[in-house]
Amino acid sequence: MMFKQWLGAVFACLVFISSAKAQLVIEITSGADQLLPIAVVPFAYENVAPLSDDIAQIVEDDLARSGLFQPIPRSNMLSMPSKEVDVYYRDWRLLKSDYVVIGTVQKLQNNQYRVGFELLNVLSQKPVQKHSSIDVGANNLRDAGHYISDKIYELLTGTKGAFSTRILYVTAEGDRKAPLFKLQVADADGHRPQVVVESKEPILSPSWSRDGRNIAYVMFRNRRPNIFIQELATGRRQQIAQFRGLNGAPAWSPDGKKLALVLSKDNNPEIYTLDIATQKLERMTNHYSIDTEPSWEPDGKGIVFTSDRGGNPQIYRLDVSSKRVERVTFEGDLNTRASMTPDGRYLVTVQKNEGNYHIALQDMKTGRVQTLTETYLDESPSIAPNGSMVMYATTHKGKGILAVVSVDGLVKYRLPSAEGDVREPSWSPYFK
Protein backbone atom coordinates (compact mmCIF):
# COMPACT_ATOMS: atom_id res chain seq x y z
CA MET A 1 0.00 0.00 0.00
CA MET A 2 2.71 2.37 1.07
CA PHE A 3 4.52 1.62 -2.15
CA LYS A 4 1.43 2.26 -4.20
CA GLN A 5 0.74 5.61 -2.56
CA TRP A 6 4.31 6.63 -3.03
CA LEU A 7 4.20 5.51 -6.61
CA GLY A 8 1.03 7.53 -7.12
CA ALA A 9 2.74 10.64 -5.84
CA VAL A 10 5.62 10.07 -8.21
CA PHE A 11 3.24 9.68 -11.14
CA ALA A 12 1.38 12.84 -10.24
CA CYS A 13 4.73 14.61 -10.26
CA LEU A 14 5.63 13.08 -13.59
CA VAL A 15 2.39 14.18 -15.19
CA PHE A 16 3.06 17.70 -14.04
CA ILE A 17 6.62 17.69 -15.27
CA SER A 18 5.77 16.22 -18.62
CA SER A 19 2.93 18.66 -19.25
CA ALA A 20 5.17 21.55 -18.37
CA LYS A 21 7.98 20.30 -20.58
CA ALA A 22 6.27 18.73 -23.54
CA GLN A 23 5.22 20.93 -26.42
CA LEU A 24 2.63 18.48 -27.59
CA VAL A 25 0.20 16.47 -25.50
CA ILE A 26 -1.63 13.49 -26.92
CA GLU A 27 -5.39 13.53 -26.82
CA ILE A 28 -7.09 10.44 -28.24
CA THR A 29 -10.35 11.29 -29.96
CA SER A 30 -11.45 7.89 -31.20
CA GLY A 31 -10.15 4.36 -31.50
CA ALA A 32 -10.67 1.14 -33.39
CA ASP A 33 -13.61 -1.13 -32.54
CA GLN A 34 -11.65 -4.17 -31.47
CA LEU A 35 -8.93 -3.28 -29.01
CA LEU A 36 -6.38 -5.75 -27.75
CA PRO A 37 -6.23 -5.68 -23.92
CA ILE A 38 -2.67 -5.51 -22.65
CA ALA A 39 -1.19 -4.84 -19.21
CA VAL A 40 2.10 -2.96 -19.07
CA VAL A 41 3.33 -3.48 -15.51
CA PRO A 42 5.50 -0.69 -14.04
CA PHE A 43 9.10 -1.75 -14.54
CA ALA A 44 11.11 -2.72 -11.43
CA TYR A 45 14.16 -0.65 -10.55
CA GLU A 46 16.79 -3.17 -9.55
CA ASN A 47 19.70 -1.16 -8.20
CA VAL A 48 18.53 2.40 -8.56
CA ALA A 49 15.76 4.71 -7.31
CA PRO A 50 12.82 5.21 -9.72
CA LEU A 51 13.70 7.46 -12.64
CA SER A 52 11.69 10.37 -13.95
CA ASP A 53 11.15 8.64 -17.31
CA ASP A 54 8.60 5.93 -16.53
CA ILE A 55 9.37 3.45 -19.28
CA ALA A 56 6.28 1.27 -18.75
CA GLN A 57 4.15 4.40 -19.03
CA ILE A 58 5.88 5.39 -22.27
CA VAL A 59 5.18 1.91 -23.67
CA GLU A 60 1.58 2.01 -22.47
CA ASP A 61 1.04 5.45 -24.05
CA ASP A 62 2.61 4.33 -27.34
CA LEU A 63 0.39 1.26 -27.56
CA ALA A 64 -2.74 3.18 -26.58
CA ARG A 65 -1.98 5.84 -29.21
CA SER A 66 -1.77 3.22 -31.95
CA GLY A 67 -5.50 2.75 -31.40
CA LEU A 68 -5.12 -1.04 -31.48
CA PHE A 69 -4.55 -1.71 -27.78
CA GLN A 70 -6.54 -1.23 -24.61
CA PRO A 71 -4.09 -0.90 -21.71
CA ILE A 72 -5.19 -2.23 -18.32
CA PRO A 73 -5.07 0.63 -15.75
CA ARG A 74 -2.34 0.25 -13.16
CA SER A 75 -4.80 0.80 -10.36
CA ASN A 76 -6.57 -2.44 -11.36
CA MET A 77 -3.44 -4.56 -11.28
CA LEU A 78 -3.46 -7.19 -8.52
CA SER A 79 0.30 -7.60 -8.57
CA MET A 80 3.26 -5.93 -10.21
CA PRO A 81 5.69 -8.66 -11.17
CA SER A 82 8.92 -7.97 -13.00
CA LYS A 83 9.98 -11.59 -13.64
CA GLU A 84 8.04 -14.31 -15.39
CA VAL A 85 8.30 -16.65 -12.35
CA ASP A 86 6.37 -14.10 -10.30
CA VAL A 87 3.52 -13.83 -12.81
CA TYR A 88 0.21 -15.40 -11.75
CA TYR A 89 -1.54 -15.75 -15.08
CA ARG A 90 -4.98 -16.19 -13.51
CA ASP A 91 -4.71 -12.65 -12.05
CA TRP A 92 -4.34 -11.27 -15.56
CA ARG A 93 -7.08 -13.53 -16.95
CA LEU A 94 -9.32 -12.07 -14.28
CA LEU A 95 -8.54 -8.60 -15.58
CA LYS A 96 -9.32 -9.85 -19.12
CA SER A 97 -5.84 -8.93 -20.25
CA ASP A 98 -4.63 -10.95 -23.26
CA TYR A 99 -0.99 -9.91 -22.84
CA VAL A 100 1.29 -8.75 -20.05
CA VAL A 101 4.49 -6.74 -20.42
CA ILE A 102 6.95 -6.85 -17.53
CA GLY A 103 10.39 -5.30 -17.26
CA THR A 104 13.32 -4.11 -15.23
CA VAL A 105 15.67 -1.15 -15.15
CA GLN A 106 19.22 -1.68 -14.04
CA LYS A 107 21.92 0.96 -13.63
CA LEU A 108 25.21 0.20 -15.36
CA GLN A 109 28.52 2.06 -15.41
CA ASN A 110 28.91 5.50 -17.05
CA ASN A 111 25.36 6.71 -16.55
CA GLN A 112 24.02 3.89 -18.72
CA TYR A 113 20.91 1.85 -18.04
CA ARG A 114 19.91 -1.64 -19.08
CA VAL A 115 16.20 -1.95 -19.72
CA GLY A 116 14.88 -5.51 -19.87
CA PHE A 117 11.41 -6.62 -20.85
CA GLU A 118 9.26 -9.67 -21.57
CA LEU A 119 5.97 -10.01 -23.41
CA LEU A 120 3.72 -12.77 -22.04
CA ASN A 121 0.63 -14.38 -23.52
CA VAL A 122 -1.96 -14.78 -20.76
CA LEU A 123 -4.00 -17.47 -22.52
CA SER A 124 -1.12 -19.75 -23.50
CA GLN A 125 0.79 -18.77 -20.33
CA LYS A 126 3.96 -18.52 -22.40
CA PRO A 127 6.30 -15.72 -23.34
CA VAL A 128 5.77 -14.22 -26.80
CA GLN A 129 9.10 -12.46 -26.32
CA LYS A 130 11.50 -13.91 -23.82
CA HIS A 131 13.62 -11.62 -21.67
CA SER A 132 15.40 -9.14 -23.94
CA SER A 133 17.23 -5.95 -23.07
CA ILE A 134 18.54 -2.69 -24.48
CA ASP A 135 21.21 -0.38 -23.04
CA VAL A 136 20.63 3.36 -23.19
CA GLY A 137 22.09 6.53 -21.73
CA ALA A 138 20.32 8.34 -18.90
CA ASN A 139 18.97 10.93 -21.34
CA ASN A 140 17.66 8.33 -23.75
CA LEU A 141 15.35 6.29 -21.56
CA ARG A 142 12.44 7.31 -23.76
CA ASP A 143 14.25 5.59 -26.65
CA ALA A 144 14.18 2.35 -24.67
CA GLY A 145 10.44 2.75 -24.18
CA HIS A 146 9.80 3.36 -27.88
CA TYR A 147 12.09 0.45 -28.80
CA ILE A 148 10.05 -1.90 -26.60
CA SER A 149 6.80 -0.51 -28.04
CA ASP A 150 8.08 -1.17 -31.57
CA LYS A 151 8.94 -4.78 -30.63
CA ILE A 152 5.57 -5.44 -29.01
CA TYR A 153 3.67 -3.81 -31.85
CA GLU A 154 5.49 -5.88 -34.44
CA LEU A 155 5.10 -9.13 -32.50
CA LEU A 156 1.36 -8.66 -32.01
CA THR A 157 0.30 -6.97 -35.26
CA GLY A 158 2.89 -8.21 -37.75
CA THR A 159 3.58 -4.62 -38.79
CA LYS A 160 6.78 -2.81 -37.93
CA GLY A 161 6.24 -0.22 -35.21
CA ALA A 162 6.93 3.47 -35.84
CA PHE A 163 7.22 4.63 -32.23
CA SER A 164 10.97 5.27 -32.48
CA THR A 165 10.49 7.68 -35.34
CA ARG A 166 10.46 11.45 -35.13
CA ILE A 167 8.52 14.34 -36.57
CA LEU A 168 9.42 17.73 -37.95
CA TYR A 169 6.94 20.55 -37.67
CA VAL A 170 6.80 24.33 -37.80
CA THR A 171 5.47 26.55 -35.04
CA ALA A 172 4.56 30.22 -35.27
CA GLU A 173 4.73 31.81 -31.85
CA GLY A 174 4.25 35.19 -30.26
CA ASP A 175 2.70 38.25 -31.90
CA ARG A 176 0.54 37.02 -34.77
CA LYS A 177 1.54 40.00 -36.88
CA ALA A 178 5.25 39.37 -36.34
CA PRO A 179 5.55 35.74 -35.23
CA LEU A 180 8.68 33.81 -34.54
CA PHE A 181 8.85 30.76 -36.81
CA LYS A 182 10.53 27.64 -35.45
CA LEU A 183 11.29 24.42 -37.24
CA GLN A 184 11.26 21.75 -34.55
CA VAL A 185 12.05 18.06 -34.34
CA ALA A 186 10.44 15.83 -31.72
CA ASP A 187 9.68 12.20 -30.98
CA ALA A 188 6.65 10.91 -32.87
CA ASP A 189 4.68 11.31 -29.62
CA GLY A 190 5.60 15.00 -29.47
CA HIS A 191 8.05 14.63 -26.59
CA ARG A 192 11.60 15.99 -26.53
CA PRO A 193 11.06 18.88 -28.96
CA GLN A 194 14.19 20.66 -30.17
CA VAL A 195 14.35 23.79 -32.25
CA VAL A 196 16.26 23.19 -35.48
CA VAL A 197 15.88 26.62 -37.07
CA GLU A 198 14.34 29.83 -35.84
CA SER A 199 13.46 32.83 -37.97
CA LYS A 200 11.32 35.93 -38.08
CA GLU A 201 10.54 35.01 -41.68
CA PRO A 202 8.31 32.07 -42.66
CA ILE A 203 9.48 28.45 -42.68
CA LEU A 204 7.55 25.72 -44.49
CA SER A 205 7.72 22.36 -46.28
CA PRO A 206 10.16 20.43 -44.08
CA SER A 207 11.19 17.10 -45.59
CA TRP A 208 13.40 14.19 -44.42
CA SER A 209 16.18 12.50 -46.32
CA ARG A 210 15.58 8.75 -46.53
CA ASP A 211 18.24 7.94 -43.92
CA GLY A 212 16.78 10.51 -41.52
CA ARG A 213 20.08 12.38 -41.19
CA ASN A 214 19.31 15.41 -43.29
CA ILE A 215 16.35 17.62 -43.72
CA ALA A 216 15.32 20.08 -46.41
CA TYR A 217 12.98 22.99 -45.93
CA VAL A 218 11.90 26.34 -47.32
CA MET A 219 12.80 29.45 -45.38
CA PHE A 220 12.37 33.07 -46.38
CA ARG A 221 15.39 35.32 -46.29
CA ASN A 222 15.17 38.99 -47.19
CA ARG A 223 11.52 38.37 -48.00
CA ARG A 224 12.27 35.70 -50.60
CA PRO A 225 11.90 31.92 -50.33
CA ASN A 226 15.02 29.75 -50.37
CA ILE A 227 15.56 26.01 -50.03
CA PHE A 228 18.01 24.75 -47.44
CA ILE A 229 19.46 21.35 -46.65
CA GLN A 230 20.54 20.83 -43.06
CA GLU A 231 22.33 18.03 -41.29
CA LEU A 232 20.22 17.35 -38.24
CA ALA A 233 22.97 16.30 -35.84
CA THR A 234 25.37 19.17 -36.52
CA GLY A 235 23.04 21.91 -37.73
CA ARG A 236 25.31 22.38 -40.75
CA ARG A 237 23.28 24.10 -43.40
CA GLN A 238 23.52 24.53 -47.13
CA GLN A 239 21.45 26.86 -49.27
CA ILE A 240 20.62 24.92 -52.40
CA ALA A 241 18.09 27.02 -54.30
CA GLN A 242 17.74 30.77 -54.40
CA PHE A 243 16.41 31.42 -57.85
CA ARG A 244 14.22 34.32 -58.79
CA GLY A 245 10.60 33.47 -57.93
CA LEU A 246 9.48 30.31 -56.18
CA ASN A 247 11.90 27.95 -54.50
CA GLY A 248 9.64 25.42 -52.89
CA ALA A 249 8.37 21.98 -51.91
CA PRO A 250 11.66 20.05 -51.59
CA ALA A 251 11.23 16.25 -51.53
CA TRP A 252 14.02 13.70 -51.24
CA SER A 253 14.16 10.84 -53.73
CA PRO A 254 14.06 7.31 -52.25
CA ASP A 255 17.73 6.74 -53.17
CA GLY A 256 18.66 9.93 -51.34
CA LYS A 257 20.52 11.37 -54.32
CA LYS A 258 18.04 13.87 -55.64
CA LEU A 259 15.63 16.46 -54.47
CA ALA A 260 12.44 17.18 -56.32
CA LEU A 261 11.59 20.85 -55.99
CA VAL A 262 9.48 23.62 -57.46
CA LEU A 263 11.02 26.61 -59.22
CA SER A 264 9.39 29.38 -61.22
CA LYS A 265 12.62 30.81 -62.59
CA ASP A 266 11.45 30.05 -66.13
CA ASN A 267 8.21 31.94 -65.55
CA ASN A 268 5.69 29.65 -63.85
CA PRO A 269 5.93 26.89 -61.24
CA GLU A 270 7.47 23.70 -62.62
CA ILE A 271 8.79 20.51 -61.03
CA TYR A 272 12.57 20.07 -61.20
CA THR A 273 14.97 17.52 -59.81
CA LEU A 274 18.30 18.50 -58.37
CA ASP A 275 21.16 16.03 -58.17
CA ILE A 276 22.60 16.94 -54.77
CA ALA A 277 26.15 15.77 -55.50
CA THR A 278 26.54 17.29 -58.97
CA GLN A 279 24.10 20.20 -58.48
CA LYS A 280 22.62 19.34 -61.86
CA LEU A 281 19.12 20.66 -62.26
CA GLU A 282 16.63 18.92 -64.54
CA ARG A 283 13.27 20.29 -65.49
CA MET A 284 10.58 17.60 -65.21
CA THR A 285 7.34 19.35 -66.16
CA ASN A 286 6.53 21.86 -68.87
CA HIS A 287 3.11 23.40 -68.63
CA TYR A 288 1.77 26.92 -68.24
CA SER A 289 -0.36 25.96 -65.25
CA ILE A 290 0.76 25.55 -61.64
CA ASP A 291 2.79 22.38 -61.08
CA THR A 292 3.83 21.92 -57.46
CA GLU A 293 4.00 19.67 -54.37
CA PRO A 294 6.11 16.84 -55.83
CA SER A 295 6.29 13.59 -53.86
CA TRP A 296 8.23 10.53 -54.95
CA GLU A 297 6.66 7.12 -55.31
CA PRO A 298 8.30 4.56 -53.01
CA ASP A 299 10.27 2.99 -55.90
CA GLY A 300 11.44 6.37 -57.19
CA LYS A 301 10.10 5.74 -60.69
CA GLY A 302 7.34 8.28 -60.47
CA ILE A 303 6.58 11.60 -58.88
CA VAL A 304 3.04 12.56 -57.94
CA PHE A 305 2.34 16.27 -57.95
CA THR A 306 -0.40 18.89 -57.91
CA SER A 307 -1.37 20.68 -61.10
CA ASP A 308 -4.29 22.87 -62.13
CA ARG A 309 -3.70 22.11 -65.81
CA GLY A 310 -7.19 20.60 -65.95
CA GLY A 311 -8.82 23.74 -64.58
CA ASN A 312 -8.71 23.00 -60.87
CA PRO A 313 -5.94 21.43 -58.82
CA GLN A 314 -5.73 17.64 -59.12
CA ILE A 315 -3.00 15.05 -58.66
CA TYR A 316 -0.94 13.90 -61.62
CA ARG A 317 1.77 11.30 -61.95
CA LEU A 318 5.03 12.04 -63.68
CA ASP A 319 7.07 9.16 -65.03
CA VAL A 320 10.61 10.16 -64.10
CA SER A 321 12.37 8.58 -67.09
CA SER A 322 9.90 9.47 -69.88
CA LYS A 323 8.50 12.65 -68.23
CA ARG A 324 5.08 11.49 -69.34
CA VAL A 325 2.27 12.89 -67.21
CA GLU A 326 -1.09 11.30 -66.41
CA ARG A 327 -3.91 12.35 -64.17
CA VAL A 328 -4.43 10.30 -61.00
CA THR A 329 -7.32 11.84 -59.04
CA PHE A 330 -10.83 12.41 -60.34
CA GLU A 331 -12.99 12.54 -57.23
CA GLY A 332 -13.50 15.70 -55.19
CA ASP A 333 -13.58 19.38 -56.19
CA LEU A 334 -9.82 19.43 -55.91
CA ASN A 335 -6.94 17.29 -54.68
CA THR A 336 -3.56 18.64 -53.55
CA ARG A 337 -0.36 17.68 -51.67
CA ALA A 338 -0.34 13.98 -52.53
CA SER A 339 1.92 11.31 -51.10
CA MET A 340 1.99 7.55 -51.38
CA THR A 341 2.03 4.92 -48.65
CA PRO A 342 5.31 2.96 -48.47
CA ASP A 343 3.69 -0.09 -50.11
CA GLY A 344 2.51 2.06 -53.03
CA ARG A 345 -1.07 0.95 -52.47
CA TYR A 346 -2.68 4.19 -51.31
CA LEU A 347 -2.47 7.83 -52.30
CA VAL A 348 -3.09 10.35 -49.52
CA THR A 349 -4.29 13.81 -50.60
CA VAL A 350 -5.90 16.95 -49.28
CA GLN A 351 -9.32 16.89 -50.90
CA LYS A 352 -11.87 19.67 -51.09
CA ASN A 353 -15.52 18.76 -51.06
CA GLU A 354 -18.37 21.25 -50.65
CA GLY A 355 -15.97 23.86 -49.34
CA ASN A 356 -14.34 21.55 -46.79
CA TYR A 357 -10.71 20.47 -46.87
CA HIS A 358 -10.12 16.94 -45.60
CA ILE A 359 -7.48 14.23 -45.81
CA ALA A 360 -8.52 11.59 -48.34
CA LEU A 361 -7.16 8.17 -49.22
CA GLN A 362 -7.33 6.73 -52.72
CA ASP A 363 -6.80 3.04 -53.28
CA MET A 364 -4.51 2.88 -56.31
CA LYS A 365 -5.72 -0.64 -57.12
CA THR A 366 -9.47 -0.20 -56.94
CA GLY A 367 -9.67 3.57 -57.34
CA ARG A 368 -11.92 3.77 -54.27
CA VAL A 369 -11.63 7.07 -52.37
CA GLN A 370 -12.27 7.43 -48.66
CA THR A 371 -12.31 10.63 -46.62
CA LEU A 372 -10.30 10.05 -43.46
CA THR A 373 -10.88 13.21 -41.46
CA GLU A 374 -13.73 15.49 -40.49
CA THR A 375 -11.75 18.25 -38.80
CA TYR A 376 -11.43 21.83 -40.13
CA LEU A 377 -9.03 23.09 -42.83
CA ASP A 378 -6.96 19.92 -42.91
CA GLU A 379 -3.64 20.05 -44.75
CA SER A 380 -0.03 18.82 -44.92
CA PRO A 381 -0.61 15.06 -44.57
CA SER A 382 2.50 13.02 -43.79
CA ILE A 383 2.51 9.22 -43.68
CA ALA A 384 4.25 7.17 -40.96
CA PRO A 385 7.04 4.97 -42.38
CA ASN A 386 5.04 1.83 -41.58
CA GLY A 387 2.07 3.18 -43.52
CA SER A 388 -0.30 2.85 -40.57
CA MET A 389 -0.97 6.48 -39.70
CA VAL A 390 -1.18 9.91 -41.32
CA MET A 391 -0.20 13.00 -39.37
CA TYR A 392 -1.68 16.26 -40.63
CA ALA A 393 -2.23 19.88 -39.70
CA THR A 394 -5.67 21.15 -38.87
CA THR A 395 -7.40 24.06 -37.16
CA HIS A 396 -8.93 23.49 -33.74
CA LYS A 397 -10.52 26.31 -31.76
CA GLY A 398 -8.95 28.82 -34.12
CA LYS A 399 -5.47 27.45 -33.63
CA GLY A 400 -3.21 25.37 -35.84
CA ILE A 401 -2.61 21.93 -34.34
CA LEU A 402 -1.36 18.53 -35.46
CA ALA A 403 -3.60 15.48 -35.57
CA VAL A 404 -3.20 11.86 -36.55
CA VAL A 405 -5.57 9.48 -38.28
CA SER A 406 -5.04 5.81 -39.11
CA VAL A 407 -5.20 4.88 -42.79
CA ASP A 408 -8.41 2.96 -42.09
CA GLY A 409 -9.87 6.14 -40.59
CA LEU A 410 -10.77 4.42 -37.32
CA VAL A 411 -8.11 5.81 -35.00
CA LYS A 412 -7.80 9.54 -34.45
CA TYR A 413 -5.84 11.64 -32.03
CA ARG A 414 -4.71 15.20 -31.64
CA LEU A 415 -1.41 16.64 -30.57
CA PRO A 416 -2.48 20.03 -29.20
CA SER A 417 0.33 22.48 -28.73
CA ALA A 418 1.01 24.48 -25.63
CA GLU A 419 2.06 27.56 -27.55
CA GLY A 420 1.42 29.17 -30.92
CA ASP A 421 0.24 27.64 -34.16
CA VAL A 422 1.61 24.24 -35.11
CA ARG A 423 1.74 23.17 -38.77
CA GLU A 424 3.58 21.33 -41.52
CA PRO A 425 4.24 17.97 -39.86
CA SER A 426 6.70 15.66 -41.57
CA TRP A 427 7.04 12.10 -40.34
CA SER A 428 10.57 10.71 -40.40
CA PRO A 429 11.65 7.49 -42.07
CA TYR A 430 12.97 4.62 -39.91
CA PHE A 431 16.35 5.37 -38.45
CA LYS A 432 19.02 2.80 -39.16
Dihedral angle over CA of 289, 216, 25, 177, nearest 10: -60
Site membership for other proteins, residue 396 (CB under 8 A): no
Shortest distance, CB of residue 303 to other proteins, whole angstroms?
Answer: 14
Backbone angles phi, psi at 270, to 5 degrees: -130, 155
Site membership for other proteins, residue 205 (CB under 8 A): yes
Q: Site residues for other proteins, window 81-140 (CB under 8 A)?
A: none
Our CB check for other proteins shows the closer of 81 and 248 to be 248
* DSSP string covering 31-53: --SS-EEEEEPPPEESSSPPPSS
Site membership for other proteins, residue 311 (CB under 8 A): no
Shortest distance, CB of residue 296 to other proteins, whole angstroms?
Answer: 15
Encoded one letter per residue, x for contact with other proteins by CB under 8 A and - for no contact, window 262-291 reads x-xxxxxxx--------xxxxx--xxxxx-
Site membership for other proteins, residue 419 (CB under 8 A): no
Beta pairing class for 126-137 and 112-121? antiparallel
Tell which one of 23, 165, 171, 336 touches other proteins (CB under 8 A).
Answer: 336
Encoded one letter per residue, x for contact with other proteins by CB under 8 A and - for no contact, window 241-260 reads xxxxxx-xx-----------
Backbone angles phi, psi at 287, to 5 degrees: -155, 145
Shortest distance, CB of residue 350 to other proteins, whole angstroms?
Answer: 5
Site membership for other proteins, residue 199 (CB under 8 A): no
Beta pairing class for 44-45 and 99-107? parallel
Q: Among 26-34, 152-160, 350-358, 361-369, which window interacts with other proteins (CB under 8 A)?
A: 350-358
| Long-range contacts, 238-247 (Cβ 8 Å, 24+) | 240/216, 240/274, 240/276, 240/279, 241/274, 247/218
Whether the CB-CB separation of 225 and 241 falls below 8 Å is answered with: no
C-alpha 18: how far from chain center: 19
**Interface with other proteins (CB under 8 A):** 176-177, 202, 204-205, 220-225, 241-246, 248-249, 262, 264-270, 279-283, 286-290, 292-293, 306, 312-313, 334, 336-337, 350, 352, 357, 376-377, 379-380, 395, 398, 423-424
